[in-house]
Structure 1
Amino acid sequence: MAVYAGDRLDWVTSAVESILAQSYRDFLFVIVVDGVVDDAIHAFIEQTQNENANVVLFKGTQNVGLSQCMNYVIEHVLKQWPDIQFFFRMDADDISVANRLANQVAFFKQHNDVDVLGSSLVEINEHGKIVGQRLLPLHHEQILKVLPRRCALNHPTVGVRMSVFAQGHRYRSELMNTQDYFLWIELCAKGFKFANLADTLLEFRRVNDFYKRRGLNKSLNEFKARFFAMKALNSLTLLNVTYAFAVILLRVMPARLIKLAYKIDRFFLNR
């Protein structure tokens, strides 16, 4: 879990406590302070480390972004704790349900062919009220088919076998967003297997400026990722190309129209 300037103490506290309260207990919780953060947050994280033997804290003097934070943790774990089997994502403003790790670890152990595993989630607002949900394709073949049009995993819910990273695969460090989308495409093209659990294992924080924060840069990266997927997965079709251009045009429209389109998209996706 990476923590940034601008994060809220109450949300960080909820995120951290949701991991420490997991029913599955055999895990290492790595928190990365990515640059300067609020003093109260810094004090809380240090206290959390002091009180929990399975919490490891890394501090960065400047903000480098999520990709570099994740890659740093991956490299460190491969060197220092080679017996660790899985890598799980967590954001500092989300909440993992108590059986998240237990369910995902159990699935991994029961399905040795699955390398990357996500789950469904619910979206919550600033006050913790549920305002939406994200249900994604469950099986690899479905995920592979959808990937040229959308990122078919909820990144904050994802677990990855460390054996994937041991083979040299990493997040693209130059990307400040969509790093997960590019990685999933690369891994699918290499033959790694994906799955999603139908279980809702995470509460994802969708705040008021969510639609504005997606921004043109993220939209352009998603546009590039879609064509990268079409090429890498041999799926250059009229439907996929049309979808890519339709989304990039939509993203330059006013935020209220983007919000409406997002809700429509979620309606059809969840069905």
Structure 2
Amino acid sequence: MTPNFSIKHSNYRVHEIPAIVAMAVYEKDCADWVDQAIVSIRQQTYNDFLYVIVIDGHISPELLAVIMQHAEEDERLVIIEGSANRGLATCMNFAIDWSLSLKPQYFFRMDADDISELNRLEKQITYLTKHAHVAILGTGLIEINEQNHQVGARVMPQTNRQITRLLPRRCTINHPTVCIRYKVFTDGYRYDDALHNTQDYFLWIELAAAGYIFCNLKDKLLRFRRVNDFYKRRGLIKSLNEFRARFRAMRWLNRLTPYNLVYACMVLGLRMMPSGVVKMAYKLDRHLLEKIIKH
């Protein structure tokens, strides 16, 4: 247990567990959305898991009350509290390290403003049980707005070849949908906690270069919250990190081509454009990705 984290609530009675669902919550998260996220996991058709919620620094009494009410009702919830905001990567790494003694097989990501479909865990575990060579499994998703209305959808490349071939141009795994085999972590891999964004993109590149097999299900098993400022979120630091990730993917995956270089530079420039331009580019990118997947 590091000084930054402590167990705030834990009533679980198991020594081993097949699956861990990990979610970080911080002060700006909406209490209603966190409630919906937690409910969507508690009601899963597959129920042999621990739900590790890491409170990333100070949160409001209202938000804490929502989390603790669920924890009191469901012994599968483990609440970990951080003394200061450390970021998603640090929270996830702590959840991974804390749970290793339970010998889990699967690590599921969940975000505090999203909603998992009720058969998400079951479908991903069923697939991984049948495909032992796959180490990282993502899914498609439905994009929803603040009122839970569908505003879009996203399906990613499905095969390992497609996923790794496109990594120099885009992050080809929807991070909130992912399930990772714990062997990846027992082999020593972790999120880079020096990064406060794009940590998933860098991890996928590292794992792809090491030869781990990726896959995405076509099924849309998560409702991803796309709020009004979605197209304004990427500041200069995140845009530069994405550029660094693309360049690393080119080098580590032997795909340093003029096309990939030009693409990375164009995306970096696009991130600096007004939100209306970014929105148009986002829709075009989704359209092009669908065509690539079909072919």
Which position in structure 1 is the counterpart of 2:50?
28
Decide which of 25, 37, 49 is 1:3's aligned counterpart. 25
How do residues 48-59 of structure 1 correspond to structure 2 at under 5 angstroms?
Answer: 48-59=70-81
* Pairing 1:263–2:283 present: yes
Q: Which letter does structure 2 place at the counterpart of 1:25?
A: N
Structure 1 consecutive aligned stretches of length 4 or more whose deviation exceeds 3 Å: none
Which position in structure 2 is the counterpart of 1:77?
99
How many angstroms does 1:270 deviate by?
Answer: 2.4
**C-alpha distance in structure 2 between counterparts of 1:270 and 1:183, whole Å:** 24
Decide which of 40, 46, 69 is 1:47's aligned counterpart. 69
**C-alpha distance in structure 1 between counterparts of 2:234 and 2:45, whole Å:** 34
Which position in structure 2 is the counterpart of 1:174?
194
How many angstroms does 1:138 deviate by?
Answer: 0.3
How do residues 91-240 of structure 1 correspond to structure 2 at under 5 angstroms?
Answer: 91-240=111-260
Number of aligned positions between the proteins: 269
**C-alpha distance in structure 2 between counterparts of 1:16 and 1:23, whole Å:** 14
Q: TM-score, normalised by structure 2?
A: 0.90
1:124-173 alpha-carbon deviations (Å, 9 max, x no partner):
01111111111110000110110110000000000000010001000000
Instruction: Compute the RMSD of aligned alpha carbons.
Output: 0.7
Q: Secondary structure at the match of 2:212?
A: coil
> Mind listing any 5+ residue stretches in structure 1 that lack a counterpart?
none
**C-alpha distance in structure 2 between counterparts of 1:3 and 1:45, whole Å:** 9
**C-alpha distance in structure 1 between counterparts of 2:73 and 2:227, whole Å:** 31
Q: Which letter does structure 1 place at the counterpart of 2:152?
A: G
* Pairing 1:17–2:19 present: no
Report sequence identity in percent.
54
How many angstroms does 1:18 deviate by?
Answer: 0.2
**C-alpha distance in structure 1 between counterparts of 2:181 and 2:61, whole Å:** 34
